[in-house]
């Protein structure tokens, strides 16, 4: 029997996973900054770590899974100006869109989903510790900065050199002791929301938020911290810096998912190449979109194309149709089980492409069994396929997908609802 090994970005190695507390796993995933509608690049991260969550649970662990919401940020404030709406209304609007998108592709709700603005007290406490330890300073204008020169180590995650950061533009003014110091807290500005602190009114810096929330829900040390590749620097690097400077062990494993790309470029709203989840759900079902987004290894880039999406959806329907035929033949739904090949693949750093190959083999055997009328073999294949799909969040018998409508039916229903609300 294989045991779980995960790739750790910090050590650049795949190593055996052993939780800090036996039988329990604590995970913190950097969630959305809710300043625009979710595109499939956003949702891929949540989906990849949902597969991790499901596999840990299937492996017998009790999982505490935290996925935060960044509901105060420069981009949110800018969007509020553009939309001529209160910043909190903008944040809530897009938070709901993210929740709907996660649900559409069957991403399980996290154990807790804390908002940054709900944890100002914890942020102030963390800053107090850092200032007391000489790792942070308040220049008197309401800002609070972390002093990178005070750190025993820095840039261990991204493996950059501190001197290489000297040329970075100092966009936060001239109150820093060192241009590479980063903001824990930003002093109040006219027209922006602010909260009182002992060092002046202001709002939190992005990096401070996640450290404070991770500590609040998971303690001083936890098992896994996750997020996208683009968060390695500066966000996760600075989380490590401020947490370790406060005396916390922080995360034991660092896991990062790769991007969805189009024409070789990272999908992002700023580049104008993003594909919104709600638009793609007009083309394929949620279960088919999930199958497609989850089919690549989480550390591999996923190059999007409509052709690839449609081919993936067609392939999934073949698997789904086999399970439906098995029900007709056997008179009952398959009982989920897992092949050893699937288990070994998932224990190898969530090697989903290898796991999918075991599903394809079970499907081949199952279809041959239908032709031969071999009821036992049909049941065995159906059980293995359903068990694998359950782990991958693509079980067609899952209540999350029960009664799913076609795109046309869904659009018609949406139209009726909009008329009723008009």
Other residues' Cβ atoms within 10 Å of the Cβ of residue 81: 11
What was the pLDDT predicted at 418?
42
Q: Determine the pLDDT at residue 336.
A: 95
Q: Of 44, 56, 51, which Cα lies nearest the Cα of 102?
A: 44
Residues in the chain: 422
Contact between residue 301 and residue 67 where contact means Cβ atoms under 8 Å apart:
no
Per-residue model confidence (pLDDT) at position 267 = 82
Q: What is the pLDDT of residues 148-196, one digit of tens each?
A: 999 988 999 999 988 888 644 445 557 899 999 999 999 999 999 999 9
Can you give the pLDDT at residue 169? Answer: 44
Q: What is the pLDDT of residue 263?
A: 82
List, for residues 195-210, the tens digit of each pLDDT value: 999 999 999 998 999 9
Taking 70 as the pLDDT cut, the residues of the chain under it are 1, 166-173, 403-422
Contact assessment for residue 188 and residue 268, using Cβ atoms and an 8 Å cutoff: no
Tell me, what's the pLDDT at 405?
42
C-alpha distances out from residue 407 to 38, 101, 278, 291, 401, Å:
19, 15, 11, 17, 14
Supply the pLDDT for residue 2: 77
How many other CB atoms are found less than 10 A from the CB of residue 18?
10
- Asked if residues 185 and 143 have their Cβ atoms less than 8 Å apart, the reply is yes
Cα 122 from Cα 215, distance rounded (Å): 9
pLDDT at 162: 87
Task: Name the token pair of 121.
Answer: 């007290």
Residues 310 and 291: their CA atoms lie apart, in Å, by 11
User: Any idea of the CA torsion for 180, 184, 187, 192, to the nearest 10 degrees?
Assistant: 110
Structural domains of the chain, with CATH: 17-134+205-261 (3.40.50.620), 306-397 (1.20.120.640)
Specify whether the CB–CB gap between 203 and 72 falls below 8 A: yes
């Amino acid at each position: 029997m294989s045991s779980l090994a995960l790739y750790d970005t910090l050590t650049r190695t795949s190593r055996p996973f052993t939780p800090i507390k036996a039988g329990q796993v604590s995970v913190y995933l950097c969630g959305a900054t809710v300043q625009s509608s979710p595109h499939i690049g956003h949702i891929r991260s949540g989906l990849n770590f949902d597969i991790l969550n499901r596999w840990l649970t299937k492996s017998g662990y009790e999982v505490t899974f935290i996925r935060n919401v960044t509901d105060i940020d420069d981009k949110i404030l800018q969007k509020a100006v553009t939309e001529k709406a209160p910043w909190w209304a903008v944040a809530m609007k897009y938070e709901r869109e993210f929740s709907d998108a996660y649900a559409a592709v069957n991403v399980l709700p996290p154990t807790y989903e804390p908002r940054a603005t709900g944890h100002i007290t914890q942020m102030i406490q963390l800053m107090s510790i850092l200032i007391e330890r000489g790792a942070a300073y308040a220049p008197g204008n309401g800002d609070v900065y972390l002093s990178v020169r005070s750190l025993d180590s820095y840039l261990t995650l991204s493996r950059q050199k501190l001197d290489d950061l000297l040329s970075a533009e100092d966009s936060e003014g001239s109150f820093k002791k060192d241009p590479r110091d980063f903001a824990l807290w930003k002093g109040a500005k006219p027209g922006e929301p602010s909260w009182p602190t002992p060092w002046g009114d202001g709002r939190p810096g992005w990096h401070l938020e996640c450290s404070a929330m991770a500590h609040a829900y998971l303690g001083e040390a936890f098992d896994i911290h996750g997020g996208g590749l683009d968060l390695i620097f500066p966000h996760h690097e600075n989380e490590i810096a401020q947490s370790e400077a406060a005396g916390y062990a922080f995360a034991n494993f660092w896991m990062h998912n790769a991007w969805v790309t189009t024409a070789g470029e990272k999908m992002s709203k700023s580049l104008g190449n993003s594909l919104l989840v709600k638009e793609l759900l007009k083309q394929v079902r949620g279960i088919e979109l999930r199958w497609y987004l989850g089919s690549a290894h989480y550390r591999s880039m996923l190059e999007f194309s409509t052709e690839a999406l449609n081919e993936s959806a067609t392939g999934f329907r073949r698997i789904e149709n086999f399970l439906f035929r098995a029900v007709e033949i056997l008179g009952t739904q398959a009982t989920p089980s897992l092949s050893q090949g699937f288990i070994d693949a998932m224990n190898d750093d969530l090697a989903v492409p290898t796991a999918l190959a075991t599903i394809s083999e079970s499907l081949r055997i199952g279809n041959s069994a239908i032709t031969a009328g071999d009821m036992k073999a049909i049941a065995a294949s159906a059980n293995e396929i359903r068990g694998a799909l359950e782990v991958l969040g693509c079980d067609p018998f899952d209540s999350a997908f029960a009664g799913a409508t076609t795109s046309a039916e869904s659009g018609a229903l949406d139209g009726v609802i909009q008329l009723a609300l008009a």
